């Protein structure tokens, strides 16, 4: 090589090195200790038991909990050792009813605002969500595929997301946020703005339902969400109405099951719940206006109830005198009744928050979980937000974006872990203040927070 070509060669190498380095930066900064981690002297809440374990040691290798032992585990060279000092190690929390795209913006912004801005806002909120100890969310409506992909690629920190994609609704149903001036719709005509951005899709026949369901599956939906009855926040859906026909619901169930996954529905009333179950729906969201007979049907059919202890502040957030406030006033007393029925009939009950359009309320995510102690022991509430919610996530079958065991601390499970300063089984309010009490937050074997 002559001196000139050697110089060109060296410059070329340097350029390649710079490109590689910036490519690595573009992937986000992986925490240094992404290899193996050893938690020493921790007491474990495993996601199921009502008591903490004896003092134990837990070895994480890669993204898997490799070994749990009350006997010492030797720290090999290169293993990051964390002295637990008797603190509690528990599974990362799971919120089974979340809308990552609909927390920071207000409704008008969510639909009409700039899509790039909304995605960045959702990404920032996703990082906050992880920093509250929520390592997984089941997203039941919203154009979240981009944010999920950015998190999974390591561009930003955030929870695992089980996306539904667009909520599928009927004309006037819960999730139809169009103005009256946008009527009538021509089938096959131009899509409304909320449909263009993938927030919700309108389908008024089994054929239309099939198209919309398959479009969500094509984008990577892990489950499908339909609204089977009226809701509080949408302007033209009274709470008493049933929306989709049984044939339409069945079309969604068929399309989802052909892809190995399931349909969950927003439903309050006995009629909407019963019709959904008849059509093969596997999970009911909310259920706030159900009666005894419907609770029995849910129990007998083995269907999930995914419900939420909605905070009073959310009801009061609807302006007095508004249609939404009147609907909220009707629905709210049903929350306590629903939890009592869920207990009495031993329903498979998942927990979620359904926070919408409020960053302030999102900060209460852990407090909303802690509020379950109105009906459950702290251990039962925490088990619901870990092992039980993970069981619901597993219903996604082959469409599960994160195969592996979540929601438990056991050998072979995915390493989503929280190190808590104190015992949340004795004082569940610890989870309401994650900034103070969660000393370590680990997702997929990586430490995202270390405040020790």
Residue ranges binding Zn ion (CB under 5 A) = 354
Question: Nearest Cα to 82, choosing from 417, 435, 430?
Answer: 417
Strands 93-98 and 134-139: parallel
Which residue's Cβ lies closest to Zn ion?
354
- Supply the minimum distance, in Å, between the C-beta of residue 94 and Zn ion: 16
Residue 259: phi and psi, rounded to 5, are: -100, 10
Q: Which is nearer to Zn ion, 248 or 285 (CB)?
A: 285
CA atoms within 13 A on the CB side of 277: 20
Alpha-carbon span 427 to 397, nearest angstrom: 35
The two beta strands, 438-443 and 88-91, are unpaired
Residue whose CB is less far from Zn ion, 194 or 415: 194
CB of 308 to Zn ion, least distance (A): 8
Q: Which segments of 387-448 does DSSP mark as H helices, in order?
A: 389-393, 434-437
Q: Which is nearer to Zn ion, 46 or 354 (CB)?
A: 354
In the β-sheet with 134-139, what is the strand arrangement from edge to edge?
93-98, 134-139, 160-163
Q: How far is the CB of 266 from Zn ion (least distance, A)?
A: 7
Residue placing its CB nearer to Zn ion in the complex, 56 or 227: 227
- Are 95 and 138 within 8 A, CB to CB? yes
Other C-beta atoms closer than 10 Å to the C-beta of 170 total 24
C-beta closer to Zn ion: residue 264 or 274:
264
**Judged by CB, which is closer to Zn ion: 98, or 259?**
98
Is the Cα dihedral 405, 410, 412, 413 positive or negative? Answer: positive
Q: Which two tokens stand for residue 333?
A: 């007393």
Q: How far is the CB of 378 from Zn ion (least distance, A)?
A: 25
Rounded to a whole number of angstroms, the minimum distance from the CB of residue 68 to Zn ion is 36
CB of 200 to Zn ion, least distance (A): 11
CB of 140 to Zn ion, least distance (A): 5
Question: Which CB atom, from 101 or from 209, has the smaller least distance to Zn ion?
Answer: 101
* C-alpha atoms less than 13 angstroms from C-alpha of 269 in its C-beta half-sphere: 18
Report, in Å, the least distance between residue 348 CB and Zn ion: 19
- Indicate the burial class of 360 (C-beta count within 10 angstroms; 0-12, 13-18, 19 or more): exposed
Between residues 262 and 438, which has the closer beta carbon with respect to Zn ion?
A: 262
Q: How far is the CB of 102 from Zn ion (least distance, A)?
A: 8
DSSP per-residue codes, 77-117: TTPEEEE-TT-EEEEPEEEEEE-GGGSSS-HHHHHHS-HHH
**CB nearer to Zn ion: pick between 22 and 106:** 106
Nearest to 177 by CA among 236, 121, 129: 236
Least Å distance, CB 275 to Zn ion, is 19
Name 119's Cβ contacts closer than 8 Å, sequence gap at least 6: 101, 146, 147
Q: Indicate the residue among 173 and 424 with the shorter CB distance to Zn ion.
A: 173
At 440, which helix (H) or strand (E)? strand 438-443
């Amino acid at each position: 090589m002559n001196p000139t070509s050697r110089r060109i060669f060296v410059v070329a190498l340097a350029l390649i090195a710079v490109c590689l380095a910036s490519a690595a930066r573009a992937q986000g900064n992986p925490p240094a200790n992404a290899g193996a981690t050893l938690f020493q002297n921790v007491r474990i809440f495993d996601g199921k038991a009502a008591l903490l374990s004896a003092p134990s040691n837990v070895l994480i290798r890669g993204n898997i909990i490799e070994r749990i032992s009350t006997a010492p585990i030797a720290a090999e060279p290169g293993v990051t050792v964390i002295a637990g000092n008797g603190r509690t190690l528990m599974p990362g929390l799971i919120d089974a009813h979340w809308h990552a795209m609909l927390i920071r913006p207000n409704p008008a912004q969510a639909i009409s605002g700039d899509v790039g801005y909304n995605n960045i806002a959702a990404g920032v909120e996703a990082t906050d969500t992880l920093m509250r100890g929520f390592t997984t969310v089941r997203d039941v409506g919203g154009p979240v595929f981009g944010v999920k992909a950015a998190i999974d690629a390591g561009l930003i920190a955030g929870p695992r997301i089980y996306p539904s994609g667009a909520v599928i609704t009927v004309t006037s149903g819960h999730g139809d946020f169009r103005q009256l001036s946008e009527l009538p719709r021509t089938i096959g005509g131009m899509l409304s703005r909320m449909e263009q951005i993938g927030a919700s899709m309108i389908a008024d026949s089994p054929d239309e339902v099939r198209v919309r369901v398959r479009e969500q599956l094509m984008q990577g939906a892990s489950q499908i969400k339909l609204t089977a009855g009226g809701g509080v926040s949408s302007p033209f859906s009274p709470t008493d109405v049933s929306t989709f026909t049984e044939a339409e619901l069945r079309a969604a169930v068929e399309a989802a099951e052909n892809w190995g996954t399931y349909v969950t529905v927003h439903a309050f009333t006995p009629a909407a719940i019963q019709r959904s179950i008849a059509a093969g729906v596997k999970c009911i969201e909310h259920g706030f206006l159900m009666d005894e007979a419907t609770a029995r049907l849910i129990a007998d059919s083995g269907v999930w109830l995914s419900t939420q202890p909605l905070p009073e502040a959310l009801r009061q957030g609807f302006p007095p005198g508004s249609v939404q406030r009147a609907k909220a006033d009707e629905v709210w007393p049903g929350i306590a009744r629903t939890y009592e029925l869920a207990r009495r009939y031993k329903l498979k009950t998942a927990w979620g928050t359904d926070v919408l359009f409020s960053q302030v309320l999102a900060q209460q995510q852990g407090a909303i979980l802690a509020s379950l102690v109105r009906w459950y022991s702290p251990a039962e509430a925490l088990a619901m937000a870990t092992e039980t919610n993970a069981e619901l996530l597993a219903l996604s079958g082959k469409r599960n974006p994160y195969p592996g065991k979540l929601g438990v601390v056991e050998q072979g499970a995915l390493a989503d872990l929280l190190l808590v300063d104190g015992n949340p089984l004795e004082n569940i309010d610890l989870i309401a203040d994650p900034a103070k009490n969660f000393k370590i937050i680990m997702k997929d074997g990586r430490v995202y927070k270390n405040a020790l």
